[in-house]
Amino acid sequence: MVPFAGYELPLHYSGRGAIKEHLHTREAASLFDIGHMGVVDVRRDRSSETGLGIGAALESVLPASLVDLQPGRQRYSFLTNGQGGISDDVMVANYGDGWTMVVNAACKHQDVAYLRSTLPAGITAELREDLSLLALQGPASEDALTALGADVAGMAFMGVATVTLGGVDVRCSRSGYTGEDGFELVVPGARAADLAGMLLEVAGVEPAGLAARDSLRLEAGLCLYGADLDPTTSPVEAGLTWAVARRRREGGGFPGWARMAAELESGPARRRVGILPAGRRPVRAGAQVEAAGSVVGAVTSGGFGPSTGGPVAMGYVGTDFCEVGTELVLRTGDRMDPATVAALPFVPHRYRR
């Protein structure tokens, strides 16, 4: 167990280890406890005179296109600040009978305070302390949920629905943080342990901890808030402009749009890239990136990739050094490791399209 954002989380489970948990997720299905994350219900106060729908209201704080987010669908987005940096990255879902945001553990209280102070009058944001989250990830996830009576076979990637699992209604999204097919489940907190136990009784489902979740998302080229994203990092630098619809890129209407527009026109000073260290030694976050005898950036995430069979990393480098194949040197103290810029993801995504 390790401390994380004020919680005690399993790093890995006894007798298994992070590498076995990682590979099992790629091959079958793993259950992750993600109850530390925040579930925020966004509602329209029916007594209010505001004419805005929830999607339009959320567009004032998020750069995603949300006025056209249909019931049963979810989108990835981020809260941006006035300087164009990312305050948090989030998932926004329209369940038809309500909208939900899933936010990061370390940011959830500040996110809710920000939403309450910024959203138009009549739109409310509530942190649901009574709810918890589980993530079932891997190619056998659908079969495991179906075995317990959850009707998920018709769901596509980024689809959401309320399903019955073990006699309990849960909010379900076909998404995850591993690059594999899988589901995230918003469940009543009082029933979370029971539902986890039911899932772990299904053949092929095993528990996995924080270390495997990190190596899986790194191989998939997915950002970790607080490492690869922070309040100084822009969506353009991070390679996340795909999450900003053209209408929002051109028209703005969200905090920090001026910086995004300028970087889209002229290019950012740095970009997030994949980094492939030579040899077998992992290079960790904080390592200095050098090229052509100069410091050109820093590693923000790094470790061993069990699926790739070697070390992998991500970081930010100056735009003159971000082309795939560019030779780099990674410096950690007196240690120097050769590396090259690599395409992301390191392991292809296998989402259910």
Question: Which pLDDT score, from 0 to 100, does residue 50 have?
Answer: 62
Say yes or no to pLDDT of 49 above 70.
no
Kindly state the DSSP code that residue 167 receives in the 8-state scheme. Answer: T
* Residue 294 CB contacts under 8 Å (≥ 6 apart), including other chains: none
Kindly report, residue by residue over 188-198, the tens digit of the pLDDT: 999 999 999 99
* Residue 40 CB contacts under 8 Å (≥ 6 apart), including other chains: 100, 101, 102, 103, 108, 111, 112, 115, 125, 126, 127, 128
**Domain extents for the chain?**
2-218, 269-342
Q: What is the mean pLDDT of the chain?
A: 96
The C-alpha atoms of residue 222 and residue 138 are separated, in whole angstroms, by: 16
Q: What does pTM read for this prediction?
A: 0.96
Render the burial of 339-349: b for 16+ CB within 10 Å, e for the rest.
bebbebbbbee
> What fold is seen in the domain 269-342?
Elongation Factor Tu (Ef-tu); domain 3 (2.40.30)
Average pLDDT over residues 90-94: 98
Class of domain 2-218: alpha beta
Say yes or no to pLDDT of 153 above 90.
yes
Q: What angle do CA 175, 32, 5 make, to 5 degrees?
A: 100
Say yes or no to pLDDT of 44 above 70.
yes
